Structure 1
């Protein structure tokens, strides 16, 4: 085999084994997009800003969506959602459009339909991006995972937890001082030490499941979404802190609802 053919074969093999492109992950630099309605860089224009972001406007499996009872198929399962998280050192980063907890090493994983997804980061949107029967909540936390198998059909899985105003959220309470120190400090970070993702409470028996996309550019599709049915609580001050820490255009950093295109939505319940 000639060298040229060998190189082409290697490239094809890499594409097959590693289908996630450099554009599949969330955009870290917010300068190219914002959340302002009517803005030239707002959600309605994301798909036209870069060709790699075209799915934001043209995709048929975009997120977030409304989790309506009329569209949900109830599936009874006695087994809990399997998660195997563990404490790990992490950074808290102000990305300008949101606040992120980024675990630096192995923070454990979650198993969905037989596929293991390693936990990478968590961040917040306010108000919530997903709605339940058209009801929007005060906050939504996303826990972003990546498949440990590069040949898996779905490479990204996101766990979503919705919050209403009420008692303070214990996990956010621990992060509060670090978030406060990062107010308006884009691209700055704090190294608080070990953060235990097991402290993020979620329902592992009752949850919604569907296939969607990332909710920020490049709006990559094929994301496995799991939304905890139980709505947790967060204090008004905690929501204000998260909104005040980021740039003004992202104080309300939730993408508008997207058409569901008659996608299957399951409600897993005992």
Structure 2
């Protein structure tokens, strides 16, 4: 309780200090809601992101934007993609209120996702509610984005979908910390060592969609390797509410973007795909 009280006090002090001319404080506000929001009727809303800054123009002009509706009747079954090659290690982590979402940043740089011969280092987790991707037109209650970056600057994101039900273990662990930085854009808490495997991905049996898309927030950078898991997990309604209240958003999900004839692949383990053929 003493630690939590100190965190709440820190958040209050940080809010006050934003009014002072300290560049170190202002540097945390690069991605706050003063730059963009999710109100579709706003001049800073998702339909206008591409007009806010020249470097964000791809948000309106891009042909490979995310999120998309994943249609099972249009996917290419691709067992050759192979099981997910993930190597996650416990790491020091920081929880930050970015104004438009809550971000869990991994600091060690020792965890990675490998696609073909490229290693993408795990950088951060963040959440969107409701989900940004849909499957056959169905939108879910929450989506976790696990963001990875290669040494070349290329980005790969794993998306995990959730529906309301029992509590999510990771959010249960983070609950009090999220409350401590609620309503405090730029506030952050050092969490110590956490294990990314708290998300419990079953590497050997996981089915997933794979396509080339973009970041779902400005600057909407394209050529992002997207992996969206088919397994839908559970999260409690209270945890969803906590994430929304923390950033004062009823929704922080970008509207669906055109597929534009992009190929979406669906990885199914070979033994499972053989059973599909035999039916």
The answer to whether the superposition gives a TM-score over 0.5 is yes
* Aligned residue in 2 for 1:104: 107
Question: Secondary structure of 1:120's match?
Answer: strand
Query: Given the superposition, is the C-alpha separation of residues 77 and 41 from structure 1 closer, same or farther in structure 2, using an over 3 Å criterion?
Result: same
Q: Which runs of 5+ in 2 are unaligned?
A: 1-29, 270-279
Give me the whole-angstrom Cα distance separating, in 2, the residues matched to 1:173 and 1:220: 32
Cα deviations across residues 218-263 of structure 1 (Å, max 9, x unaligned)?
000000000011000000100000011003xx33000000000010
* Aligned residue in 2 for 1:5: none
* Aligned residue in 1 for 2:263: 264
Question: Secondary structure of 1:175's match?
Answer: helix
Q: Alpha-carbon deviation of 1:107? A: 4.0
Aligned-pair RMSD on alpha carbons? 1.3
* Aligned residue in 2 for 1:32: 35
1:234 to 2:235 alignment: yes
Give me the whole-angstrom Cα distance separating, in 1, the residues matched to 2:210 and 2:133: 12
- Indicate conservation of the 8 Å contact 2:85/2:115, yes or no: yes
- Indicate conservation of the 8 Å contact 1:94/1:100, yes or no: yes
- Indicate conservation of the 8 Å contact 1:202/1:230, yes or no: no
Give me the whole-angstrom Cα distance separating, in 2, the residues matched to 1:51 and 1:173: 40
* Aligned residue in 1 for 2:277: none
1:184 to 2:187 alignment: no
Q: Give runs of aligned pairs for residues 1-270 of structure 1, distance below 5 A.
A: 28-77=31-80, 79-148=82-151, 150=152, 155-204=154-203, 205-247=206-248, 250-270=249-269
More helix by share: 2
- What TM-score results when the alignment is normalised by the length of structure 2? 0.83
Give me the whole-angstrom Cα distance separating, in 1, the residues matched to 2:82 and 2:211: 18
- Indicate conservation of the 8 Å contact 1:210/1:225, yes or no: yes
The count of corresponding residues between Structure 1 and Structure 2 is: 238
Tell me which stretches of 4 or more aligned residues in structure 1 moved more than 3 Å: none
Q: Alpha-carbon deviation of 1:37? A: 1.7
Q: Alpha-carbon deviation of 1:267? A: 0.4
Give me the whole-angstrom Cα distance separating, in 2, the residues matched to 1:144 and 1:107: 14
Q: Which runs of 5+ in 1 are unaligned?
A: 1-26
Q: Alpha-carbon deviation of 1:202? A: 3.0
- What TM-score results when the alignment is normalised by the length of structure 1? 0.85
Q: Alpha-carbon deviation of 1:106? A: 2.0
* Aligned residue in 1 for 2:272: none
Give me the whole-angstrom Cα distance separating, in 2, the residues matched to 1:233 and 1:201: 12
* Aligned residue in 2 for 1:24: none
Larger mean Cα displacement after TM superposition, 71-80 or 125-134: 71-80
Question: Secondary structure of 1:253's match?
Answer: coil
Q: Alpha-carbon deviation of 1:76? A: 1.6
